[in-house]
Amino acid sequence: MTNIKKLGLTALAGSLVATSGYAGALDVTGTAKVTYVSQDPSEVTGNPYSMSQGMGFAGSGDLDIGTLSYTYTATNMALSSSNLKLDMGDNGTVSFANGASLTGIQAYYDKMPTSGEQVWDDLDGQANGIAGMSTSNTLGYTNSFSGIGVSIAHNPDAGVTTEGSSTSFALTSSDLLDGAEMGYAHADVSGTSSDNGTDQDTVYMTYTTGAITMGAQVTRIDKSAANSDVDRNHFAVSAAINENLSVSLGQSTVEFEAAGKDDQENVGLAFSYTMGSMTIAGFNNTEKNSGGTQGTDDQVTELSVAFAF
């Protein structure tokens, strides 16, 4: 019996040694953030202070055909996003994402420079004029050909109320003009039937000179219903004051095809100051004619202190 026990332990130890060479690495990171939010005076929001916690897991391992990597992020212990990527070198990267804007138009819906949140974030009309498709269990592929980046996303049957699949692609380049990045993305987003899908197009360009980055982006959303198209024009500039402090200013205008709707105008000012593992950030976003309704305005101001671990 003693010999049998020794044999079993020896076999177990040998198996652990044999398999340890195939194990990958898993890194854990975390954040803690205290936030103060001031909403529009007409809104009742309760205590303006809150705290959120984030946790991220990142792992990778080598395969014969490339490098496999995985990330999982959670906010307040609830899933935020996860993705699995297989980097095959010159053959490109294949991905499977849930809640992560990795590929296609979802990765390029707003490319304007900002030191904080987008100019439309946390406002009543934030969804207006924003291109995008479902990020739930989405297949993706990225590669580069002769200096042109290609990004493709495919989301099969995005829900029980959706007919068909959604597909998008993006083409980008940083080689056409020194200091500039430009791109174009298109999406065919499925609707509740085969006859009411949505076509989306967005084109952007950013230009960096010294500590200044400027950008412009135009988005066109063509809906199947009559007089329901939405266009958005967005401009922004950011400046790195020093290696710790950056500020940005952006402006967005949403135009509605529907008669009787006015243009929705958004303006956002943001800053970010980093000192070691601590980041102090803030933004103020304002909105006129939310959803195209004249005289319906909104605003939000947020200040936060975040620590990374």
Residue ranges of the domains in the chain? Answer: 25-308
- Residue-wise pLDDT for 64-98, tens only, equals 999 999 999 999 988 889 999 999 999 999 999 99
pLDDT for 23 = 54
Pair 76, 59: CB distance under 8 Å: no
Pair 135, 98: CB distance under 8 Å: yes
Round the average pLDDT of the chain to a whole number and report it: 89
Neighbours of 164 (CB within 10 A): 15
Residue 11, pLDDT > 60, answer no
- Residue-wise pLDDT for 99-138, tens only, equals 889 999 999 999 999 999 999 999 999 999 999 888 889 9
Reported as a pLDDT band with limits 50, 70 and 90, residue 42 is confident
What is the average pLDDT across 227-238? 96
- Residue-wise pLDDT for 245-294, tens only, equals 999 999 999 999 999 999 999 999 999 999 999 999 999 999 999 999 99
The pTM of this model reads 0.86
Tell me 112's DSSP state: -
Q: Give the integer Cα–Cα distance in Å for 89 and 104.
A: 19
For residue 279, give Cα distances in angstroms to 38, 74, 102, 171, 250. Answer: 19, 19, 25, 33, 21
pLDDT for 3 = 44
Q: What share of the chain is helix, strand, coil (3-state, %, to 5)?
A: 10, 55, 35
- Residue-wise pLDDT for 153-208, tens only, equals 999 876 666 778 899 999 999 998 999 999 999 999 988 776 788 999 999 999 99
Task: Identify any residues that bridge with 94 across adjacent strands, giving them in sequence order.
Answer: 86, 141
pLDDT for 33 = 96
Q: Which CATH code fits 25-308? A: 2.40.160.10
Q: Give the integer Cα–Cα distance in Å for 232 and 192.
A: 24
